[in-house]
Structure 1
């Protein structure tokens, strides 16, 4: 985790509050609005802020060697880097690495990442090799669900569990 970082900020944010669980001081809700974050990212940050068992949450960067990344292989056997969205330390000492993806709304898939399955499988393999807590998190009807077992695009699949059950 970089000692300091720069985040996009929404100057039009209303009712700005500091997110005390964020790894950086003075990180506020102005860094986590719909102009800057996806719905699943906003919901995840709010979820962590409301939980008593979270020591800190770090929003990972999208590109650059200073950020945590995992190699995945696409259908043409090319290697790419995938940057998981969040690293979270819980008060029990466990570290979780979380990737958020678009969920479902009105029965329609909101995921726009065509490499989601390749990333999921690479993440799973990496996490197993490193004995790491991990999961893909998606939103459905303003609730968050986590999957770290078998990839399934359909959120009705039993592999998607309410976040509060596993995290």
Structure 2
């Protein structure tokens, strides 16, 4: 006959062995990061940027998708533009006014033979404030446009990964 404490100990050891076996069968793979599923380095060639916003987008894509430069690889070209609009009107004496910088980018992926394989257009925005200091206003607008360009680069990267995954 088993004593109740010996039976409990045996049950706990059996449960621990079962949990250890289950844990050995599974692994945790991060969705993002250096060892991730979405980390895939792609063989791409990037077009030359024509303005600062395109440079920010290309740098972000190259950082996350791979540096590019492969001959015979699909060519990624991005055309980016920004627009600024006032968010609200106020009749207060406060000289600070909120604006929004909107960056729109067109992505075109062209195969080595010249055929266009994928196109997409994405937009993102960032809010900034203007006051009565010209240098600060220009810096705020530039910084907001670059923040929006980084957000556009992220959506373009995810769109490109999705398009390439469904194409395979």
TM-score exceeds 0.5: no
Q: TM-score, normalised by structure 2?
A: 0.26
Which TM-score applies when normalising by structure 1?
A: 0.26
If each structure's helix is expressed as a fraction of its own residues, which one has the higher value? 2
Larger radius of gyration: 2
